[in-house]
Amino acid sequence: MTRGAKRGRPQMVLQSSTQPTTGMQLGEAPTPSPSLSIPEENLEEQINETVLIFSSYASMVDPEEGTELKFVPTQIINGVKCAKLDKDDVAAETEYWQNTVLCSVLGAKPLFEIIHGFIKHICATLGIDKIIQVRKGVFLVRFGNLQDKQLVKKHGVYYFDAKPFLVKGWNPETDMHIETIKFIPLWVQFPNLNLKYWGAESLSKIGSILGIPIKTDRYAKEKSVIQYAGLLIDIPLEGPFPDFIEFFNDNDVLQVRYEWKPTKCTYCHMFGYEEELCKKKKGGTLQEERNEKRSDKLVGQAQTKEFTCVLKMPSARQPVQVTTNSTPLHINPFQVKEKNESKVVEKTFPGWLWQHNFALNATGYIWIAWKPSTYDV
């Protein structure tokens, strides 16, 4: 051991590259030489002409396991060392992550293994490069190309266990560790919209009242269905969700229909459930048990007179699945009174087309509804 060295501490020796090093062992310090003197102002110029010899765990790391780095002189601003990064420094990583979206489930934090399978399923026809968990309930999905990312963003709302699966595109300003998804893409319909307002510029201005317009549906583009104009709009989760909007240059109001509206607990201010189902509220567990018992009681009833009662009996339904070349169809038996038609349509089938036999049968035993953006009937 060299005299003056402290026992148990790794030695670092700064040695001139012009002196021979034959016979030196790693970690062995040469005899101090008074001729080795590097002025502080010339340290940055001399750093590349010297050899740093460490006796530490860093020397045992496999260089092929990571990306090789280099020393870059720092800048001193107001007496503090700072790293100044420009666009060229981040260009490569920005390009790499531009095909990425940030995902989360509204009102739930599923396990990574579960959400991994779900994402693989809904994006089966797309090229997924990797799925990463950012934090509990928040996931990052990188696609092989930008087109697949745009397809996912413009799809609308996905659903995971009856809860909205939110998707947000990544950008260089995104801080994933504090980022929350504050907007949700929703299909919105404007019934009986005057044909003179069906241009892209007019629809963009109308949609901007609610949020950020993304695109129209196929029927609005082709102008093949004129009962309503369908727009996909990025709308703030906090709303508002007005039922009517006004025109500045027209003395009229325009009705608004939403494919879906987010549910928010007024007690804990979390999305995905209402206050009576809030577990944080005192007595919330007891309230859930009461709701379950009430649901079981409804399941035991053979006849229901109101459609709203049927909605509370998911376990009682026995849907008949029809195999098609697209998404599955389901047939559910229920009864709706003619006087409740508008209420059922607005609450249950927003944005859908439908046919019924009220004209032939007042009890309305046959009711067919379909989503025009998915099916042609």
Q: What is the 3-state secondary structure (H, E, C) of the chain?
A: CCCCCCCCCCCCEEEECCCCCCCCCCCCCCCCCCCCCCCHHHHHHHHHHEEEECCCHHHHCCHHHCCCCCCCCCEEECCEEECCCCHHHHHHHHHHHCCEEEEEECCCCCCHHHHHHHHHHHCCCCCEEEEEEEECCEEEEEECCHHHHHHHHCCCCEEECCEEEEEEECCCCCCCCCCCCCEEEEEEEEECCCHHHCCHHHHHHHHCCCCEEEEECHHHHHCCCCCEEEEEEEEECCCCCCCEEECCCCCCEEECEECCCCCECCCCCCECCCHHHCCCCCCHHHHHHHHHHHHHHHHCCCCCCCHHHHHCCHHHCCCEEECCCCCCEEECCCCCCHHHHHHHHHHHCCCCEEEECCCCCCCCCCEEEECCCCCCC
For a pLDDT cut of 70, what percent of the chain falls above it? 55
Tokens of 285: 């567990």
Sequence letter at residue 280: K
Ranked by mean pLDDT, the top range of 60-69, 161-170, 285-294 is 161-170
Integer-rounded Cα Rg, in Å, for the chain is: 32
Note the pLDDT of residue 251: 67
- Is 104 inside any structural domain? yes
Ranked by mean pLDDT, the top range of 49-58, 157-166, 237-246, 357-366 is 237-246
Cross-strand pairs, 131: 141
Note the pLDDT of residue 166: 83
Kindly report, residue by residue over 71-121, the tens digit of the pLDDT. 888 888 888 988 888 888 889 999 999 999 988 888 788 899 999 999 999
Kindly report whether the peptide bond that precedes residue 240 is cis, defined as omega within 30 degrees of 0.
yes
Residues 69 and 111 in one domain: no
Residues 108, 160 contacting (CB under 8 angstroms)? yes
Lowest mean pLDDT, pick from 113-127, 202-216, 293-307: 293-307
Q: In this model, does residue 132 exceed pLDDT 60? A: yes
Q: In this model, does residue 181 exceed pLDDT 80? A: no
Q: What is the average pLDDT value for the chain, to the nearest integer?
A: 71
Which residues contact residue 97 at a Cβ distance below 8 angstroms, ignoring those fewer than 6 apart?
142, 170
Q: Which of 221, 242, 258 is the last residue of a domain?
A: 258
The total of structural domains in the chain comes to 4
Distance CA 282, CA 264 (A): 17
Give me the mean pLDDT over the 179-185 stretch: 73
Q: Is 4 exposed, middle or buried (0-12, 13-18, 19+ CB in 10 A)?
A: exposed
Q: In this model, does residue 228 exceed pLDDT 70? A: yes
Q: Which of 82, 100, 126 is the last residue of a domain?
A: 82
Tokens of 370: 């379909």
Residues 157 and 198 in one domain: no
Kindly report, residue by residue over 35-77, the tens digit of the pLDDT. 445 555 555 555 555 444 444 555 666 666 778 888 888 888 8
Distance CA 240, CA 255 (A): 14
Q: 356 — phi, psi (to 5°)?
A: -145, 175
Distance CA 230, CA 352 (A): 11
Lowest mean pLDDT, pick from 52-66, 209-223, 260-274, 292-306: 292-306
Residues 95 and 165 in one domain: yes
Residue given tokens 């607990």 in the structure block: 265
Note the pLDDT of residue 97: 92
Note the pLDDT of residue 47: 52
Which has more confidence, 280 or 297?
280
CATH of the domain at 250: 3.30.70
- Is 263 inside any structural domain? no
Residues 99, 142 contacting (CB under 8 angstroms)? yes
- Is 299 inside any structural domain? no
Confidence bin at 21 (pLDDT 50/70/90): very low
Distance CA 135, CA 143 (A): 19
Give me the mean pLDDT over the 25-34 stretch: 49
First and final CA of the chain: distance in angstroms?
88
Give me the mean pLDDT over the 168-177 stretch: 79
Residues 135, 103 contacting (CB under 8 angstroms)? no
- Is 271 inside any structural domain? no
Q: How far is CA 23 from CA 20, 26, 121, 127, in A?
A: 9, 10, 62, 55
Lowest mean pLDDT, pick from 211-215, 263-267, 274-278, 298-302: 298-302
Residue given tokens 């501490």 in the structure block: 9
Which residues contact residue 121 at a Cβ distance below 8 angstroms, ignoring those fewer than 6 apart?
none
Residues 28 and 98 in one domain: no
Lowest mean pLDDT, pick from 54-63, 163-172, 189-198: 54-63
Which has more confidence, 86 or 325?
86
Which has more confidence, 304 or 331?
331
Note the pLDDT of residue 20: 46
Residues 220, 198 contacting (CB under 8 angstroms)? yes
0.75 surpassed by pTM: no
- Is 112 inside any structural domain? yes
Residues 54 and 102 in one domain: no
CATH of the domain at 115: 3.30.70.330
Which residues contact residue 279 at a Cβ distance below 8 angstroms, ignoring those fewer than 6 apart?
285, 288
- Is 122 inside any structural domain? yes
Note the pLDDT of residue 120: 92
Tokens of 283: 């007595």
Residues 54 and 121 in one domain: no
Domain of residue 78: give its range.
13-82
Q: In this model, does residue 211 exceed pLDDT 60? A: yes
Note the pLDDT of residue 320: 44
Residue given tokens 């549906």 in the structure block: 217
Distance CA 271, CA 48 (A): 57
Confidence bin at 172 (pLDDT 50/70/90): confident
